Amino acid sequence: MSYEFSREEERVINNFAVKTAIIGILFGVLSVFLLISVLLDSDISTTDRIFRSILAGLQIPIAVLLIYPGLNFRNVMRTEGSDIQELMTGIRKLKLSLWALLYIIVGLLVISTYLIISA
């Protein structure tokens, strides 16, 4: 049994995919700028340099985790007969991405708390 979403439903799903991709790209760009600032700023402490590097390093997987599920959401518009399957795959990937994002945030909080206490 196959199901095809209407054009309006496909448009809503595609808009969601595009917005998550934009947010993911912004995280990637911010990560690059943060890494550049770490490399160019010679007046920051070693602790601050480590913290900024870790933060930049964590933003890259966040970017990927936000872009990756959107590919399945975009496939809803591109394919015929597999809309539900593509949507469910995208939702599963998004769920895994959000869990990974939660672990990254918790890890960042632990690291930053440790750096603040040890400073």
Is 2 a member of any domain?
no
Containing structural domain, residue 47: 7-118
Predicted confidence at residue 1, as pLDDT, reads 57
Give 93: exposed, middle or buried? Use CB within 10 Å, 0-12, 13-18, 19+: middle
Number of domains in the chain: 1
Tens place of pLDDT per residue across the chain (119 aa): 577 888 898 899 889 889 988 988 998 898 899 889 888 888 888 878 887 888 888 888 888 888 888 888 888 888 888 888 888 888 898 898 888 888 888 887 887 788 778 76
Predicted confidence at residue 8, as pLDDT, reads 92
Given a contact cutoff of 8 angstroms between Cβ atoms, the answer to whether 104 and 62 are in contact is yes
Predicted confidence at residue 119, as pLDDT, reads 66
Predicted confidence at residue 69, as pLDDT, reads 82
Give the pTM.
0.72
Predicted confidence at residue 110, as pLDDT, reads 85
Give 12: exposed, middle or buried? Use CB within 10 Å, 0-12, 13-18, 19+: middle
